[in-house]
Amino acid sequence: MADTIFETRVEQHRGELLAYCYRMLGSVHEAEDLVQDTMLRAWQARERYDERRASIRTWLYRIATNVCLTALEGKARRPLPSGLGAASTDPETPLVPAFEVPWLEPFPDDPAERAVRRDGLRLALVAAMQSLPARQRAVWVLREVLEFSAAEVASLLDTSVAAVNSALQRARAGLADVAEVAPPDDPAVRRTVEAYVRAFEAADVTALVELLTEDAVLEMPPVPLWFVGRHDYGAFIRRVFAMRGTGWRMVPTIANGQPAVAAYAPGDGVHRLHTLQVFTVVDGLVAHTVVFQSPAVFAAFKLADTL
């Protein structure tokens, strides 16, 4: 196979491989490194690739799976604050970041590859997946999201079909409590997020709280702090306005196939990037907001520093 043709055929799978490695690792930046490693290994082994035995896509997933499983050996899972301890009931709790924790990162949406990437990317789902053993994680993604057959997955993992089916059953049980959510372009979801943005920009906490479910969750990595319920969620938002002022601006985007906004805080005549906020909307109300404040996350989403 000519090198240029091989390179072209391999590169067309980079986007979906990135999403796969992200689902496995929970980090965009680690996923990018692993995809690069996958591509390098594929290039080095190109003379040994036999398209009569497997499609180039299947072959690449075999390499990527091995790369991911190796990377996950001995590595701590990437959590969100709600996965580490009980919710706080004091909105005045000091906001002390825990930079030593390898926090779960959000994944930027790419319209060009949305159909491939969005399925199985919900933030809560990726967070739950981090608690699964690595091979279960791989089996679930390969079977449920990427729709490889049990026989193909067995070949990818050098195991039996029975072992694949058993791992899939256990993975399904571990992810059973993660609810489905409507896509961000669903009209009801869009209306809810737009109303939330209007309330936040107007510093109207009363209106904002009315858009929350009774048990809405607010969490904000790298601060290991989270709140549950309309009252505590609203109380913390009041604290935010007291600390950072009012007159925020919010720019819509998409993360993990969910509605999100880049939030810009006012100050010195400009609005400076403060957080990326990812929403889970259920039945027309915000059920979960994850607020990320990390330069690495901002860079992955290519967010402007100021407005």
pLDDT profile of the chain (307 residues), mean per 10: 76 92 96 96 86 87 96 92 94 93 91 56 93 96 94 95 97 90 90 98 98 98 96 97 96 95 94 97 96 96 95
pLDDT confidence of residue 50: 79
Q: In whole angstroms, what separates CA 275 from the centre of its chain?
A: 15
pLDDT confidence of residue 120: 79
pLDDT confidence of residue 163: 97
pLDDT confidence of residue 76: 86
pLDDT confidence of residue 118: 55
Q: Are strands 258-267 and 223-228 parallel, antiparallel or unpaired?
A: unpaired
CA dist 146 and 148 (Å) reads 6
CA dist 97 and 225 (Å) reads 9
Judge contact between 175 and 167, C-beta under 8 A.
no
Helices and strands in the chain: count of H runs, count of E runs: 13, 6
pLDDT confidence of residue 30: 96
pLDDT confidence of residue 115: 47
How far separated are the first and last CA of the chain, in Å rounded? 49
CA dist 143 and 145 (Å) reads 6
Domains of the chain, CATH where assigned: 1-75 (1.10.1740.10), 187-300 (3.10.450.50)
**DSSP assignments along 161-219, one per residue:** HHHHHHHHHHHHHHTTT------TTSHHHHHHHHHHHHHHHTT-HHHHHTTEEEEEEEE
